[in-house]
């Protein structure tokens, strides 16, 4: 029987992995669960991703686009005339106010790098790229401090279920910017 041409299969597998983690958490991620979710043979998942770490790297790369997209859509870092603290606080609010499951998933995969060394370079890439974007508006050290603060605020909101307080975020970001 000839092999069916399916150029989108790899992407469908990554999308399925993201859905599995979104529904069941990282503990529910397996080649088998992803194959079932993607409606592909088990061999397809292991063909495209030899290990679960490889699959998680692909999923993390794709989910990392969430906050980067929110920053890009906010006009950062191009606008040098605007209030950076207000712009960042607003972008954070837009991101957190969107698809909450997507934000939780992004952090779950991001934090998985604590236990899975294969994910660390992808997490580091995201940090470096975002810090580079912010460095167009401030110095590199301050850019990293802003990222750390935004991560902390996001984690507090996600873990406590509290509402995002844009005014608080803007004030804290402003304090970091003012040194």
The model carries a pTM of 0.79
* Better-predicted residue by pLDDT, 54 or 66: 54
The DSSP code sequence of 11-45 is HHHHHHHHHHHHHH-GGG--HHHHHHHHTS-HHHH
CB atoms within 10 A of CB 150: 23
Averaged pLDDT score across all residues of the chain: 87
**Among 3, 95, 10, residue whose Cα is nearest residue 46:** 10
Outline which parts of the chain fall under CATH 1.10.10.60.
9-61
CATH 1.10.357.10 assigned to 64-178: yes
Outline which parts of the chain fall under CATH 1.10.357.10.
64-178
Whether the predicted pLDDT of 168 surpasses 70: yes
- 67-114: per-residue pLDDT in tens? 777 777 766 656 667 889 999 999 899 889 877 777 888 888 888 888
Give residue 142's pLDDT band: very low, low, confident or very high (50, 70, 90): very high
Rounded distance, CA 83 to CA 86, Å? 5
| 16-25, 43-52, 94-103: the lowest-pLDDT one | 94-103
Query: For 18-42, what is the mean pLDDT?
Result: 92
Rounded distance, CA 133 to CA 93, Å? 18
Whether the predicted pLDDT of 1 surpasses 80: no
20, two tokens: 């599995």
Do residues 133 and 73 make contact, with C-beta atoms less than 8 angstroms apart? no
CATH superfamily for 9-61 is Homeodomain-like (1.10.10.60)
């Amino acid at each position: 029987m000839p092999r069916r041409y399916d150029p989108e299969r790899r992407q469908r597998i990554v999308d399925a992995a993201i859905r599995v983690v979104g529904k069941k958490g990282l503990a529910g991620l397996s080649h088998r669960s992803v194959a079932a979710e993607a409606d592909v043979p088990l061999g397809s998942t292991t063909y495209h991703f030899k290990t679960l770490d490889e699959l998680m790297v692909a999923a993390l790369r794709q989910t990392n686009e969430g906050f980067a997209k929110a920053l890009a859509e906010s006009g950062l870092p191009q606008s040098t005339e605007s209030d950076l603290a207000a712009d960042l606080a607003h972008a954070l609010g837009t991101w957190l106010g969107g698809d909450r499951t997507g934000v939780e998933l992004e952090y779950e995969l991001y934090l998985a790098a604590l236990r899975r060394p294969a994910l660390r370079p992808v997490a580091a890439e995201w940090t470096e790229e975002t810090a580079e974007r912010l460095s167009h508006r401030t110095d590199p050290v301050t850019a990293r401090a802003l990222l750390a603060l935004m991560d902390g605020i996001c984690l507090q909101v996600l873990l406590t279920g509290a509402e995002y307080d844009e005014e608080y975020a803007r004030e804290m970001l402003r304090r970091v910017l003012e040194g």
